[in-house]
Amino acid sequence: MSFKLALKTLIPALIVCVGCGGGPQPPKKVADSISQSEGMSAPTVKVYVENSGSMNGYVKGATDFENAVYSYLSDLQLADLGVREDSLFKNVMELNYINSVISQQTSDIKEFIDKLEPSTFKQVSLNSGGNLGTSDISDIIGKILENLNNNEIAVLVSDCIFSPGKRYKAKDNADDYLVAQQIGIKNHIAKKMLENPNISFVVMRLLSQFDGKYYNKFDDNEYIKDTRPFYIWLIGDSKYLKKVMSTVDYHKIKGSGVQNIYAVSSSVGNVNYSILPQPRIGKFSLDKKSPKTSIIKAKTENKGGSNMFQLSIGVNYSRLLLEDEYLLDYSNYDISNKSYSVEIAKNSNLSSQYSHIIKLTLNQPIISKGTVKISLLSKLPQWIDDCNDADGLNIHAAGAMEKTYGLKYLVEGVFDAYASSDKYATITININ
């Protein structure tokens, strides 16, 4: 079959690396902290494209689905993800289909994408014995984790729709099996964590043309031709996923682009931070005993007839596998002293050891003294709930076309595996 994707020559989407330092160590520029891959071997990238029946609509003709997958895999293969022992420029990449079984395919990305067609999905399933009629995402993730070594990255491409098949068509069963999926995903990850506690996940939501059969939660189907969501998951050790996220710009994925993203890893516990002399409102002196975390002689400043006070804190979040969409959202923070509020911004000074600046602002005319704890919470982003189809029956209901039945259960299964702590990190400041 002739190559059907009209794509320009792909150039690796390389961006400046942003640090992964932090913790009790000497000051280091954020921009330099992971700019080199010293001592880190390049990971093998294992790609899994789900080929169950519900995926056929994404691969009928040339689609944004194919453009997105092709561009991202190409950039991954060419990216500087670590030191290659054999000195090859390309990273090793294994290409597979997955449903109830894993079917390894050609190692050539162009050929792999060129063959993405419903007929290929069916033929591969017939050859391998896979079941195209069901989509058990928990089982798929379990198989991927079982076959994932610590020096490997897995890329899962799926519509993430749970389709249990005709055997679970009874109305009192469909939603119950979603709960079982959530528990199953949690258990698979918890088991993997015993082997590698640094196992981490990134979930990206994208959109594509869809021309095919849509299956509802009772496995009834109807033909639709519209725009539907699909997902690219990254699974691997946090040091590799941080390298991927800082090197391969997901904003430059072809097609309709990444609409939403969620990243999760084990909590760090402590991050490198310090009170900054500027910017500030009011007056204070650094406590010589603890100049990074304590101030004394704090006084408000009259601005526009109001007494105001604000101090700034430099913090290095680069150890965390979190995107700025999450880090800059003040609703993801908890302040122990409600007399204060926070706003977060990226640090524009690339020579600084701090990736972000937190401004702690007094909400009243009199300074509230004592300890203030600023906690970065571990929580699911709002888009998970917004993009979840809770009904799973009428694809033509308002907003349902761009939602995914069962999405919330699947991602909550991942989230639950990391729920031993409800905080990624806590910053403690003393105001006297």
Residues 225 and 247 reside in one and the same domain: yes
Task: Look up the pTM and report it.
Answer: 0.85
Instruction: Examine residue 236 and state whether it is found in any structural domain, yes or no.
Output: yes
In a domain, 390, yes or no: no
pLDDT tens digits in sequence order for the chain, 432 residues long: 433 333 333 333 322 222 233 333 334 444 434 434 456 788 999 999 998 888 999 998 889 999 999 999 999 999 988 887 665 668 899 999 998 889 888 889 999 998 888 787 667 666 666 665 566 899 999 999 999 999 999 999 999 987 665 555 545 567 788 899 999 999 999 999 999 999 999 999 999 999 999 988 888 889 999 999 999 999 999 999 999 999 999 999 999 999 999 999 887 667 999 999 999 999 999 999 999 999 999 999 998 889 999 999 999 998 899 999 999 999 999 999 999 999 999 999 878 899 999 999 999 999 999 999 999 999 999 999 999 999 989 999 999 999 999 999 999 999 999 987 788 999 999 998
Rounded Cα distance between 369 and 417, Å, is 38
Residue 153 near residue 45, CB atoms below 8 Å: yes
pLDDT at 114: 87
- For the chain, how big is the Rg over CA atoms in Å? 24
Same domain for 358 and 329: yes
Please report whether residue 361 resides in a domain. yes
Domain limit, last residue, from 237, 267, 297: 267
What six digits make up the tokens of 359?
Answer: 């401004």
240, 267, 294 — which closes off a domain?
267
Whether 300 and 193 map to the same domain: the answer is no
Q: Are residues 260 and 245 in the same domain?
A: yes
Query: How many distinct structural domains can be found in the chain?
Result: 2
Report yes or no on 105 lying in a domain.
yes
Question: Is the residue at 180 inside a domain?
Answer: yes
CA 154 to the chain's CA centroid: 13
For the chain, report the end-to-end CA distance as a whole number of angstroms: 73
Query: Are 86 and 183 members of one domain?
Result: yes
Q: Examine residue 45 and state whether it is found in any structural domain, yes or no.
A: yes
The answer to whether residues 261 and 284 belong to one domain is no
Determine contact, residues 5/70, Cβ cutoff 8 Å. Answer: yes
User: Taking a C-beta distance cutoff of 8 angstroms, is the pair 22, 268 a contact?
Assistant: yes
Q: Is 165 left (phi over 0), alpha (psi -120 to 50) or beta?
A: left
Q: Helix, strand, or coil here: 330?
A: helix
Specify the pLDDT at position 26.
Answer: 38
Q: Are residues 215 and 395 in contact, defined by beta-carbon separation less than 8 angstroms?
A: no
Helices 174-195 and 137-146 cross at an angle (nearest 10°) of 10
Helix-helix angle 137-146:407-417, to 10 degrees: 40
Domain with 354, as residue range(s), is: 272-378+423-431
Same domain, 221 and 104: yes
| DSSP element (H, E) containing 243 | helix 238-247
> If you write DSSP's letter for every residue of 367-417 in order, what string do you get?
---EEEEEEEE----HHHHHTEESS-S-TTSTTGGG-EETHHHHHHHHHHH
Would you give the distance in Å from CA 149 to the centre of its chain?
A: 20
Question: Beta-carbon neighbour count of residue 371 at 10 Å?
Answer: 13
Asked if residue 94 belongs to a domain, the reply is yes
Q: Quick one: 86 and 64 in the same domain?
A: yes
Distance of CA 271 to the CA centre of its chain: 20
Note the pLDDT tens digit of each residue in 73-87: 999 999 988 887 665
Encoded tokens for 121: 């999905």
215, 286: one domain: no
- Considering the domain architecture, whether residues 86 and 141 belong to the same structural domain is answered as yes
Same domain, 139 and 280: no
Cα–Cα distance, 179 to 112 (Å, whole number): 34
Residue ending a domain, choose from 238, 267, 296 = 267
Please check whether residues 288 and 217 belong to one and the same domain. Answer: no
User: Which of 156, 133, 162 is CA-nearest to residue 144?
Assistant: 156
Nearest by Cα to 293 from 315, 309, 310, 278 = 315
On whether residue 341 sits in a domain, the answer given is: yes
Six-digit token string for 223: 């033909």
| Sign of the dihedral defined by the CA atoms of residues 230, 164, 144, 200, in that order | positive
Tokens encoding 62? 């040339």
